[in-house]
Amino acid sequence: MAPYIGTATSRVDGLAKVTGTAKYAAEYNAPGLAHASMVGATIAKGRITRIDTTAALRVDGVITVLTHENRPPLADNDQAYNDDVAPEGTPFRPLYDGRIIFNGQPIALVVANTLEAARFAASLVRADYLTEPHVTDIHTKRDRGLAVKDPITPLDALFAPPKQRGAPGPALDGADVRHDGEYYVPIEHHNPMEPFASTAVVESDGRLTIYDKTQGVQNVQRYLCSVLGLKQDDVRVISTFVGGAFGVGLRPQFQAVLAALAARALGRSVRVVLTRQQMYVLGYRPAMIQRIVVGANANGTLNAITHDAVTVTSQHENYYRQETGWSGLLYSCANAKYAHRLAKLDLPTACDMRGPSAATGVYALECAMDELAAALKIDPVELRLRCYSDRDQHDNRPYSSKALRECYHQGAEAFGWHTRNPEPRAMRDGSELVGWGMASGVWDAFQAAITVRIRLSANGHAEVACATSDIGTGTATVMTQVAADMLGLPLDSVSVLLGDSTLPASPVEGGSWIAASVSNGIAATADAIRKELLRLAALMPDSSLSGTEADDVGLVDGMLVSRRDNARAVSIADAMRHSAVDQIEREITTNPIEDAARAHNTHSAVFAEVKVDEQLGVIRVTRVVSAIAAGRIVNTKTATSQILGGVVWGIGMALHEETAIDHRFGRVMNANFAEYHVPVHADVHNIKVIFVDEADDSNPLGIKGVGEIGIVGVAAAIANAVHHATGKRVRDLPITLDKLLGKPS
């Protein structure tokens, strides 16, 4: 039987998704289910002086209106609201009191017998406020930011800027060529297609089952228990299918609290679905002002980089990631310095969004490298090769693997880069200017502790269980493939249970760490099953495997087979039946292998072609080649989709996406798909994904994860292509036609 790992296996949940039977959080029903509609604050900061729900309560079918004045009890300490991935600070408490800390903050929940009644009645809730001055513009606070502290804990060290190395000041002064640029990325919103929703079902014994949209059912489960003061057994959180999340489902969101509160208050099942508009008060990618200074020698080697960043967070929590650190990591450069400050604004807290920190930080770095290449008159790929580093520059460690050089070569080859005319505005297609740009990408290869349970039945079926989510990444499919290979079963003899807080422990699904974590977890658990099978086989009289070493026996096609002599084999079913065992169950926690002596990263080289209508400024991204080095690719089909998705996100970041805030009100102005632009079919043309071979032994299966790396570098490659096409450098994303047709920046 050929292995499934490494093949283009179709999704195991594909049938459910194309027939409409896949159920998402708002699609579970329960007897007597009530519908709830949230009301948001209309000021950015202050407090509610009076809230009037009388008109809403008069509407036929309205059951109750919950506000901070009549809600059931909620925890009164910050600790209770701290979820697994909360940043430092004071977490927001939904419906806790009359204090308003961001516009759109939930102030009431109208619960009714029908959706129509709930929505109509929600429009009748009135609040009076005492307002306080607010600030929501990063630019007004750019010089008054809170400096990110030096790291104290190892976790801080992941997020705080790395330590300075060398003497960047004198090195920059001595550089032959120096580039100094400021780059801007606005606030962006994740906008998963599925609205945030929670269906809180009151079970007959009074316990709650919450069907929630989340990237971490156990994170939500623990959070709800502590916030509502419930026992662990009283709440179960289920999230079998998730209609996209991209980071905004990492932390528990307020609709889950609202649904649970209402269900507890009424003793009745309640569903809360946020509107698209209301989803703009969940998390967002923080706007980022970055200044990069790079100094190089005339031969194209770097001698210094400084990277200063200002990013947005809320007044109540300090969210940040290591946005600046990528600059000093990626290229060989003896001198580097970083600074990161936080613009604390009267907004919800920012959060992780696809490729958090790298999508933005590497955007600036890779545009700066392009500008440097132009100044040095060196081909952009050649410049990267001259600066190539085989060691992690922060800690001077080798990489567990780094096939970025092959990414450059294979990507350039597939794109036809060698025919590029280096002069801007030199390439045309009819009336359109043609530009070719490229960029590098980098992300971390993480692995986290995870627990997997496998039950193997004598009839040859295996059930694999883990609480991880599958947010569309293909986790269920990857789990099935790995289990099938490890247990020697066909795919359809493996079923996967996930997205349920009662299953074995998993971290939240994010950061590209689940594929490596859960796959190696399955391998370890399957290995324990294999050993038990071998023990049972040895009990059989005249077993052809007696005397074989455990490590010499594999599971293939329903048999235990000696790897040295495949004539020595025993059927799994026979081995189990001989000992009257119907089922073997193992549950094992797998920890990542400690390997601090090496750096663990994924890399990419992205090549983009744009065509620009010179008169109108319309930009089309006509071709992208993304060459990825990310260790072993478990499923080339779903992994390709991950990278395609990342490239599409990069197109959006480069050309479309921007959350616009009316700073007078501190309110998002374009909280809808008509005005917050995301790429649509017509924006996406030819995208080619290449997976470069990269053997890695950081974990037994050599997996690194591909969820984030696809977006990193894409916006820079497009911005660089736009410069190559037009001779104009727009450093302020998104590159809209007004900026392109305006004065060069």
Partner 1 sequence: MISSDDSDPPAPASGGSAGSVSLAVMVNGTRYPLTLDPRCTLLDVLREQLDLTGTKKGCDHGQCGACTILVDGRRVLACLTLAVMKDGANITTIEGLAKDGVLHPLQQAFIEHDAFQCGYCTPGQICSAVGLIAEGRAQTADEIRESMSGNICRCGAYPNIVAAIQQAMGLP
Positions in 236-275 near ligand FES (CB under 6 A): 244
Nearer to ligand FES, 194 or 658 (CB): 194
Contact (CB, 8 A) for 48 and 68: yes
- In whole angstroms, what is the distance from residue 451 CA to residue 632 CA? 22
Residue 62 near which of partner 1, ligand FES, none (CB within 5-8 Å, type-dependent): partner 1
477-516 burial code (b ≥16 CB/10 A, e <16): bbbbbbbbbbbbbeeebbbbbbbbbebbebbbbbbbbbbb
Nearer to ligand FES, 41 or 648 (CB): 648
- In whole angstroms, what is the distance from residue 144 CA to residue 458 CA? 66
Residue 100's identity, in one-letter code, is: I
Residue 23 near which of partner 1, ligand FES, none (CB within 5-8 Å, type-dependent): partner 1
Among candidate residues 317, 323, 658, 708, the one labeled active-site is 708
Task: Spell out where 520-617 has E strands.
Answer: 553-556, 559-562, 569-571, 583-590, 601-613
Min. distance of Cβ 472 from ligand FES in angstroms? 5
CB atoms closer than 10 angstroms to residue 334: 15
Min. distance of Cβ 357 from ligand FES in angstroms? 24
Residue 114 near which of partner 1, ligand FES, none (CB within 5-8 Å, type-dependent): partner 1
Chain centre distance of CA 349: 16
Residue 583 near which of partner 1, ligand FES, none (CB within 5-8 Å, type-dependent): none
- In whole angstroms, what is the distance from residue 226 CA to residue 86 CA? 14
Residue 55 near which of partner 1, ligand FES, none (CB within 5-8 Å, type-dependent): partner 1
Residue 182 near which of ligand FES, partner 1, none (CB within 5-8 Å, type-dependent): none
- Structure token digits, residue 10: 């179709």
Residue 741 near which of partner 1, ligand FES, none (CB within 5-8 Å, type-dependent): none
Near ligand FES in 193-212, by CB under 6 A: 193
Min. distance of Cβ 450 from partner 1 in angstroms? 22
Near ligand FES in 459-488, by CB under 6 A: 472
Residue 684 near which of ligand FES, partner 1, none (CB within 5-8 Å, type-dependent): partner 1
CB atoms closer than 10 angstroms to residue 88: 11
Residue 735 near which of ligand FES, partner 1, none (CB within 5-8 Å, type-dependent): none
Min. distance of Cβ 339 from partner 1 in angstroms? 34
Min. distance of Cβ 510 from ligand FES in angstroms? 16
- In whole angstroms, what is the distance from residue 710 CA to residue 715 CA? 11
Nearer to partner 1, 230 or 678 (CB): 678
Contact partners, residue 503, CB within 8 Å, separation at least 6:
453, 465, 466, 467, 497
Nearer to ligand FES, 580 or 674 (CB): 674
**∠ at Cα 91 (89, 97), nearest 5°?**
125
- In whole angstroms, what is the distance from residue 324 CA to residue 491 CA? 43
Nearer to ligand FES, 472 or 511 (CB): 472
Q: What is the SS3 assignment for 693?
A: coil
Is the Cα dihedral 286, 289, 295, 300 positive or negative? positive
Nearer to partner 1, 278 or 451 (CB): 278
Q: Which residue has the closest beta carbon to ligand FES?
A: 193
Nearer to ligand FES, 244 or 460 (CB): 244
- In whole angstroms, what is the distance from residue 158 CA to residue 448 CA? 14
- In whole angstroms, what is the distance from residue 550 CA to residue 64 CA? 64
Residue 682 near which of ligand FES, partner 1, none (CB within 5-8 Å, type-dependent): partner 1
**∠ at Cα 594 (707, 599), nearest 5°?**
55
Min. distance of Cβ 480 from ligand FES in angstroms? 19
Concerning whether 708 is annotated as a catalytic residue, the answer is yes
- In whole angstroms, what is the distance from residue 600 CA to residue 698 CA? 8
**∠ at Cα 25 (21, 512), nearest 5°?**
95
Torsion of the alpha carbons at 557, 558, 560 and 565, rounded to the nearest 10: -30
Residue 129 near which of partner 1, ligand FES, none (CB within 5-8 Å, type-dependent): partner 1
Min. distance of Cβ 643 from partner 1 in angstroms? 9
Asked if 18 touches ligand FES (CB under 6 A), the answer is: no
Nearer to ligand FES, 241 or 363 (CB): 241
Q: How many residues bind ligand FES (CB under 6 A)?
A: 3
Min. distance of Cβ 595 from partner 1 in angstroms? 30
Residue-by-residue DSSP string for 271-312:
EEE--TGGGGGS--BPPEEEEEEEEE-TTS-EEEEEEEEEEE
Cis peptide before 151 (omega within 30 of 0): no
Tell the burial category of 573 from Cβ atoms under 10 Å away from its Cβ (0-12, 13-18, 19+).
middle
Nearer to partner 1, 162 or 707 (CB): 707
Min. distance of Cβ 193 from ligand FES in angstroms? 4
Nearer to ligand FES, 129 or 676 (CB): 676
**∠ at Cα 112 (203, 122), nearest 5°?**
130
Nearer to partner 1, 22 or 157 (CB): 22
Min. distance of Cβ 120 from partner 1 in angstroms? 5
Min. distance of Cβ 231 from ligand FES in angstroms? 36
At 92, give phi and psi (nearest 5°).
-65, 140
Residue with token string 């209609």: 243
- In whole angstroms, what is the distance from residue 556 CA to residue 534 CA? 13
Min. distance of Cβ 9 from partner 1 in angstroms? 10
Helix and strand element counts for the chain (H, E)? 18, 33
Nearer to partner 1, 191 or 548 (CB): 191
Residue 745 near which of partner 1, ligand FES, none (CB within 5-8 Å, type-dependent): none
Residue-by-residue DSSP string for 463-505:
EEE-----SSS-HHHHHHHHHHHHHT--GGGEEEE-SBTTSSP
Closest CA to 681 of 629, 620, 610, 732: 620
Q: What is the SS3 assignment for 576?
A: helix
**∠ at Cα 209 (207, 211), nearest 5°?**
165
Tell the burial category of 420 from Cβ atoms under 10 Å away from its Cβ (0-12, 13-18, 19+).
buried
Closest CA to 26 of 195, 223, 169: 195
Residues making contact with ligand FES (CB under 6 A):
193, 244, 472
**Residue positions annotated with a catalytic role:** 708
